[in-house]
Structure formats: C-alpha cells, structure tokens
Amino acid sequence: MNSWPSAFLWLADPVNWAGPGGIPTRVGEHLLYTLVTLLIGVIIAVPAGLAIGHTGRGRGIAVQASGVLRALPTLGLLLLLALWLGIGFTPPLIVMVALALPPLLAGAYAGMDAVDRQTIDAARSIGMTGWQVLFQVELPLALPLVIGGIRSGCLQVIATWTVAAYLPLGGLGRYIYDGLAVQNYAEMLGASVLVIVLALLADGLFALVQRLVVPRGVLAGRSRDVRTRTPRRSASSTPSTTAG
C-alpha cells in the first residue's frame, strides 16, 4: 500500500524521463512493438475473417484455431520459442501475434455476420460482382465490428508485451523485470501505471475510430428509432415523411 506514493515519486522523477532507458523511449518501444504486432495480426486475420464471412466457409476451422490459440500458455510458448530461435524480437513477436489473432478473426467474421443477408442478396441481384459486394457492401457495414476486434486485440497485446521484456527486450516491461531484480517496487508499480494508462488511451482511441466508421445511414436509422420510441417527440426532429 505504501508503495503508491513512491510509485508516483518514481514517475515524477525527471531522471526517469531522460536517456535511452527513459520513460519516453520505453513507451515508444512498447507502442512500436504493439503496432508491429497488430499490423501483422490484421494482415493475417482480417482477410481470413472477411473471407470466412463472405463465403460462409471455414468457420469451424477458424473457431477451433482461435480456441487453440487462446489456450496457449503465453509465457511457456515464449520460453520455448526463445530456446528454439534464440533471444531477440522474433520469438515474442510470434507469440504476441498468436495472441492477437483470435479477437481480430472473431471481430472480422462477427462483422460480416452482422450484415443483413437480404442486403447482400439485393446487391447481387442488381449485378454487383462478389468483390463489389465485399468491398462496397459487406466491408463498410462490417467495419465497426472489425475495428472492435482490433480494439480488444490491442488491449491484450499492450498488456502482454510487458511480459515479453523478460527475454530481455525493451518496452515498459523492462522496468518491471529490472525493478523486480533489485526489489524496486516503486519502479515496478510506476511502470504498471504507465501500461494501464497506455492501454486506456489506446482503447479510447479505438472506441473513437469505431464510432467514426459506423456508416452514417446506419447511425441515422438508429437515432430515428430512438426518437420514435421516445414518447415526447421534439418538433425539431426530421420533417414528417408521410408522402410515401
């Protein structure tokens, strides 16, 4: 308990904000690791998830693979790969990508699932090709949930890169392992606070993006529903549409 004040003292100490091991550098490393992980994860999982959603095939395999990936013990896998491939950036990167894949994949095909079959059927009926249906109809409508998948993947990745500093690597986990070695609880707790803040900021950013990508027509429909359900309708709502 009495570690908290010292943790904030550690955070406030200008010494910890300077130099190659300083907080800005470590935060930068952590963000870079996270970004690289998400980028690779998105490149693998999102097309796969969209393909599964578009064709309706391969769902069983995707669910099973996600289950297996989720069940992997992160630290064990990390050590195993480090023994295999040696110390460096690659082993933890593989582990982190594996960790990010299930939520990314789930977001992508959940998004595709949420698109009304009738809308897709209509798009095909008027002469859209499969690709046009995918890019002009399914993807825009699925995007909020796709981003949602990236959002939850991002949270996990930010949190878990901390563990990978064990190897040893940079990032905010470095402080935790270094602090542990010399029983500097202020440093450990301070770094944990930074990880949490980073995660919250990233989550907030994705929440914002997620809202921005909801197609306006879908939003418009939603707000109209809300309005018609409200007993007291304001006169400033959309003009009446009785002509049809």
Partner 1 sequence: MIEFRSVTKRFPDGTVAVRDFSLVIPSRRITVLVGSSGSGKTTILRMINRMVDPTSGTIEIDGDDIAGIEPVGLRRGIGYVMQNAGLLPHRRVADNIATVPVLRGVRRKDARARALELMDTVGLDRSLAERYPSQLSGGQQQRVGVARGLAVDPNILLMDEPFGAVDPLVRAELQRELLRLQRDLDKTVVFVTHDIDEALLLGDQIVIFTTGGIVAQAGTPQEILAAPADEFVARFVGADRGKRALHVREQNGRPVVVDSEGRAAGVLVPDDAGLGARAGDGSPADGSAPGGRPEPARDGGAR
Instruction: Convert residues 62-101 into a mask of x (bound to partner 1 by CB under 8 A) and - (unbound).
Output: ----------------------------------------
Largest CA distance in the chain: 77
Closest CA to 45 of 107, 90, 94, 134: 107
Give me the least distance between CB of 145 and partner 1, in Å please. Answer: 14
| Stretch in the footprint of partner 1 (CB under 8 A) among 17-25, 88-96, 111-119, 151-159 | 111-119
List Cβ neighbours of 167 (8 Å cut-off, separation of 6 or more): 78, 82, 87, 88, 91, 92
Map the footprint of partner 1 across residues 126-155, applying CB under 8 A.
Answer: 126-129, 132, 136-137, 140-141
Give me the least distance between CB of 239 and partner 1, in Å please. Answer: 9
Contact (Cβ atoms closer than 8 angstroms) between residue 101 and residue 69: yes
Map the footprint of partner 1 across residues 160-219, applying CB under 8 A.
Answer: 215-218
The yes or no reply on residue 117 touching partner 1 (CB under 8 A) is no
Give me the least distance between CB of 178 and partner 1, in Å please. Answer: 50
Give me the least distance between CB of 64 and partner 1, in Å please. Answer: 25
* Chosen residue from 47, 87, 220, 230 binding partner 1 by CB under 8 A: 220
Q: Hey, how many other C-beta atoms are within 10 angstroms of the C-beta on 215?
A: 12
Q: Any alpha helices (H) in the chain, and if so which ranges?
A: 3-12, 23-55, 59-71, 74-85, 90-113, 117-125, 130-132, 139-164, 173-181, 185-212, 216-229
Angle between helices 173-181 and 23-55 (to 10 degrees): 130
Give me the least distance between CB of 219 and partner 1, in Å please. Answer: 9
φ and ψ at residue 118, rounded to 5 degrees: -65, -35
Q: Which is nearer to partner 1, 84 or 131 (CB)?
A: 131
Residues that bind partner 1 (CB under 8 A): 116, 118-119, 121-129, 132, 136-137, 140-141, 215-218, 220-222, 224, 238, 241-244
